[in-house]
Structure 1
Amino acid sequence: MEIEEIINGIKKVLDEADSAREEALKITREIVRFSGDAIKAIHRNELEVARKRIENAQKLVSMLKENLKPYPMIYYSGYVQNAHQEFVEATLLLAYREGRELPSPWDLGVPEADYLMGLGDFIGELRRHFLLLLIEGKIKEAENVYQFMEKLYEELMTLEYPKGLVNIRTKQDQARHILERTLEDLTRAKLNRELEEKLETVIKNER
């Protein structure tokens, strides 16, 4: 085969892959946008809005998987993984807020490694929910969230794999710091509540 024919054949393959990459970039941006909008809606207690955004993102996740079947090097690239993580994070948060079982990576149609990274980010969003509950004075509910965060962290820490397989160590470190700050906030809030109750008792007895 002449070198010109070889190069032309290679160009054809790469042109097709490049077109798939460009389309994937557009889809992943939409997945990230829908997922981010869903998370914002969840924290505003607009769960129906969040559900619709996640449904839109789920369709795009499925489309992306189908479109990139011939191009695994693109499907397992960084920007696709990031989109999956955002989607997983939003989906897990909605499931938790609705009191449902957490969906698995196989339910969502995403790679297991991407799911684990999204699970790590989910702990951060739970902290945000925890803080909103503290602001509202719902200490018992906030404590329940902390206990769930602790459970997730313990499970996350059972994972010991090389970075080349799944870069989970970073998420484990982040989760540990988040959990430490959350426990400090919870302890402080409970002490403040106890102090308030004692003061109220003293004031009532003095009347």
Structure 2
Amino acid sequence: MINKDFWRKINSNQADYDKFRRIIIGQSAQAQHLAKQAIFALHRDNMVEAEEKLAESQQLIQKMEIDFKQNQKLRNEPTWSSAVEEFAEAKLFLAYQKGEEVGEIVGVDIHADEYVGGLSDFTGELHRQAVLLSSKDEFEKVKKIAEEISDIIHLLLEYNLGGYLRTKFDQAKKNLNKIEYILYDINMKKK
């Protein structure tokens, strides 16, 4: 009654998927960690280290894209998506720190939700940068960052974000509120 050959094939396919999934979890964690290190290097104004870490992160992500191209189910693995989102955030922050336009990221397949998540998280890095700049009395730069975050919020308002991305968007709005408070505090202290 039961087709044993069919079920052996199903079992074999699932075993392969599980094996590859474990590899992806490890490689994704490494790629994500490198992207985080790049972000922290940027906060320390270490552009060389940031670019090196991002290049390593990109190589790992590209390797996964090649190695697992035949199984798109693996591409939807949450750890892979998290690594790509962190990579996007780091690339956006790097572009910003270099004075470049913040926009398309080439070289890695980034899904729209990963990009939006990375863009939302990027506002957190801008907020952190604003705090560092305000401690150095560089208030004009803080104002510019507030404008940049406001522009990002305005852009994201065009989308009907739900679930996870809605949470990310709400965090981005909180980052704007925090910078607005910093600016308010600066203005009050000047009076």
Any conservation in 2 of the 1:159–1:168 contact (CA below 8 Å)?
Answer: no
Q: Supply the distance in 1 between the matched residues of 2:149 and 2:108 (Cα, whole angstroms).
A: 21
Residue 144 of structure 1: how far off its partner (Å): 0.8
2:176 partner amino acid: L
Query: 171-180 or 27-36, which moves further after superposition?
Result: 171-180
Residue 108 of structure 1: how far off its partner (Å): 3.5
Residue 105 of structure 1: how far off its partner (Å): 4.6
Any conservation in 1 of the 2:54–2:90 contact (CA below 8 Å)?
Answer: yes
Match 2:184 to one of 151, 168, 187: 187
1:178 aligns with 2:175: yes
Seq. identity, %: 23
2:184 partner amino acid: T
Runs of 4+ aligned residues of structure 1 deviating over 3 Å after TM superposition are 105-108
Structure with bigger gyration radius: 1
- 2:143 maps to 143
Residue 76 of structure 1: how far off its partner (Å): 1.2
- TM-score where L is the length of structure 2: 0.93
Residue 161 of structure 1: how far off its partner (Å): 4.5
**What count of residue pairs does the alignment treat as equivalent?**
191
Structure scoring higher RCO (CA < 8 A, sep ≥ 6) equals 2
CA RMSD of aligned residues (A): 1.7
- Structure 1 unaligned regions, length at least 5: 196-207
Query: 108-117 or 148-157, which moves further after superposition?
Result: 108-117
1:168 aligns with 2:165: yes
2:180 partner amino acid: L
Pair 1:52–1:97, CA change in 2 (3 A): same
Q: Supply the distance in 1 between the matched residues of 2:137 and 2:154 (Cα, whole angstroms).
A: 27
- TM-score where L is the length of structure 1: 0.86
Any conservation in 2 of the 1:133–1:139 contact (CA below 8 Å)?
Answer: yes
- Structure 2 unaligned regions, length at least 5: none
- 1:37 maps to 37
